[in-house]
Amino acid sequence: MEENKPRLLGECSEEFILYLQSVRGFSSCTLKGYSSDLKHFALSAGKDKDITVITEADIRKAVASLSKRKYEVVSINRFISAVRGLFFYCKKFGYIEVNPALNVKTLKAPKYLPNFMTQSEVDEICSLPEEKELLWPLRDRAIFEVLYSTGCRVSELCSLKFSDFDKKYESAKVLGKGNKERRVFISKDAKKALMSYLCERRSRFPATWVNGASPVEKIFVNQKGTALTAGGVSMIISRYSGAEGTGKHITPHSFRHTFATSLLMNGADIRIVQEMLGHSNINTTQRYTHVTPERLREIYAQAFPHADVQKE
């Protein structure tokens, strides 16, 4: 591109998204969200507008329009992050001299405790597939057990391949956000469920196996034999946690929250939990340091000499 040719907002946005994908290794989910945010900004400010003439007022106007449309704080903050990232990128590569997003701060978001399950709730939902036989029982139990055992994000679960596992299926390597690789571990219950599912998968789709291997490298497949998507896993979990199942709203992330909460409540070091979750910032992990009423009663009973705490 010529030096004196204006760099348009739309063009810079596309270039920025490509940079996040190819250089920074952002997840497809994050890229989709940022693309949507920058398209909204282009509609507000004008995609054919020279990037050098966009002002802080243009950005604040776009943020205000989201507020008027009753967007949640987390969505508005993602929009602000996307726009700030765009202008930081443009400043870094010399497309602009002054960054108009420098003083645009994210909104203060309400603090929500992660939605986690008790051990009895985990046991209940893991046993439901074989009790209810709603979809594919052995596969569904394996999904639940592996999610709980590893603390994987749903996208990481769907990306798991045969080659990611060790020979005994007791651990697997996972590629998380920012192409950060980590190792997750498979409990005995999760391994047992996984082996049962893989055995049945092979008998269900014998024509897809050649020389002892499957051309579909992904571990979890749908009932047609093709790779299961994140949306598919969410649908499976919602089916078992709906009216036909537990009746408690559970998402794929609930298993991840429960994994982290269980580790911390049983004395695991927070930095180890951070590593096992693949968090780049320990502040994200600290959300899980909330204390349940049961844990409070236990600590009180142990620490206070005159305590006589009865379970409710």
**Cβ-based neighbours of 126, under 8 Å, separated by 6 or more:** 141, 144, 145, 148, 189, 193
Task: Tell me the catalytic residues.
Answer: 153, 177, 253, 256, 279, 288
The residues facing 141 across adjacent strands are none
152 sits in which H/E element: none
CA angle 142, 203, 210 (to 5 degrees): 105
The Cα 293–Cα 295 span in angstroms is 5
The residues facing 173 across adjacent strands are 183
3-class DSSP state for residue 11? helix
Sign of CA dihedral 63, 66, 68, 73: negative
Distances (CA, A) of 284 to 26, 194, 273: 17, 30, 11
